[in-house]
Amino acid sequence: MPRLKEILFPIDYSDACDRAAPMVAAVASRFSAGVTVLHAESARVSAESVDLYSPGSPSPSEVRDASMRELNRFIARHFTSPAVNGMIQEGDPAQAIVALTDKHACDLVMMPTHGCSPFHPLVCGSVTAKVLHEASCPVWTSAHIASTDPQSALEYRVMICAVDRACDSEDLLRWADWFARQYQATLKIVHVIPAYDETSQNCGELELARYLLKVSRSDFQRLMTKAGVEKELLLRGGNIAGRLAETARQQNADLLIVGRGHVQKVLGRLRTVLLGIIRESPCPVISV
């Protein structure tokens, strides 16, 4: 049975982190989950945190104390629950995030992917890619958080789960169904067929499209039945990332759930375009 009791929220004090914080607080409240707010830094000194008028350079303890005060101010601005803890780690942000997911048995990492602070690229592509590649728990991301209405993003009413033919798609469906039930949300299943051109009027391509649709509908209906998830199945054709984004807009989806697989496995095609899916998605994405 899935669970969501511990959330890891990496921050770098960017505007994206400020916009993501209410969503983290909302998920934590929904599941009565604890939150660890993590700031990973490499000998960073914040101009807002250190007294620039003190003589000489700040000592390492002064720098750490200043960083901790800055982190506590961030937490105080965005969270009211006592189950929120702050943590500062030195070193590579991606490695710190991945290590903490194992050490603290985190159930979900929530990190924005839009924008960077002037200090280091905590929420940019390379860190996000590493976390998605190596974290042992689901990862929540949002590529277009700046264009999302903060209030509408606090509740998930319509969710879309994108599936492929990877061997762990059955587990993905069960997780998505469980998560949707926690919100009493509508869940729809989507599969994109890259070889199916929805705009073509060519007779041969139309015949191929009918075959691909028939086979895919049969395969995924069977998969859904095996997983015990009887939901509406939407079949799309074309570019995976683009068609998922378009479907999310058409369905007014609040959340897109996709499979991530593991680094040791041969990933399905949907997994190989995961960063593209996140970049184009009009709503947050949870990669399981």
pLDDT for the residue 3: 93
- Condensed to tens digits (0 to 9), the pLDDT of residues 92-122 reads 899 999 999 988 889 999 998 754 444 444 4
pLDDT for the residue 263: 44
pLDDT at 59 over 90: no
**203-229 burial, b if ≥16 CB within 10 A, otherwise e?**
eeeeeebeebeeebeeebeebbeebeb
Write out the H or E segment, with its range, that includes residue 144. none
pLDDT for the residue 275: 86
pLDDT for the residue 151: 52
- Condensed to tens digits (0 to 9), the pLDDT of residues 70-81 reads 999 999 999 998
Count Cβ atoms below 10 Å from residue 169 Cβ, excluding itself. 24
Starting at the earlier edge strand, list the strands of the sheet with 186-193. Answer: 84-90, 34-41, 6-10, 108-112, 139-142, 285-287, 255-258, 158-162, 186-193, 232-237
pLDDT at 49 over 60: no
Q: Which residues contact 18 (CB under 8 A, 6 or more apart)?
A: 77, 78
Higher pLDDT, 237 or 206: 237
Rounded to a whole number, what is the largest CA-CA distance in the chain? Answer: 79
Specify the residue for token string 């189950």.
83
Specify the residue for token string 């039945």.
225
pLDDT at 153 over 70: no
Do residues 216 and 222 make contact, with C-beta atoms less than 8 angstroms apart?
Answer: no
Higher pLDDT, 155 or 30: 30
Q: What is the mean pLDDT of residues 273-277?
A: 88
Q: What is the DSSP letter of 193?
A: E
Higher pLDDT, 40 or 236: 236
Domains of the chain and any CATH numbers? 6-143 (3.40.50.620), 155-287 (3.40.50.620)
- Condensed to tens digits (0 to 9), the pLDDT of residues 170-213 reads 999 999 999 999 999 999 999 999 988 877 778 777 888 899 99
pLDDT for the residue 64: 81
Count Cβ atoms below 10 Å from residue 35 Cβ, excluding itself. 26
pLDDT for the residue 245: 96
pLDDT at 147 over 60: no
pLDDT for the residue 269: 60
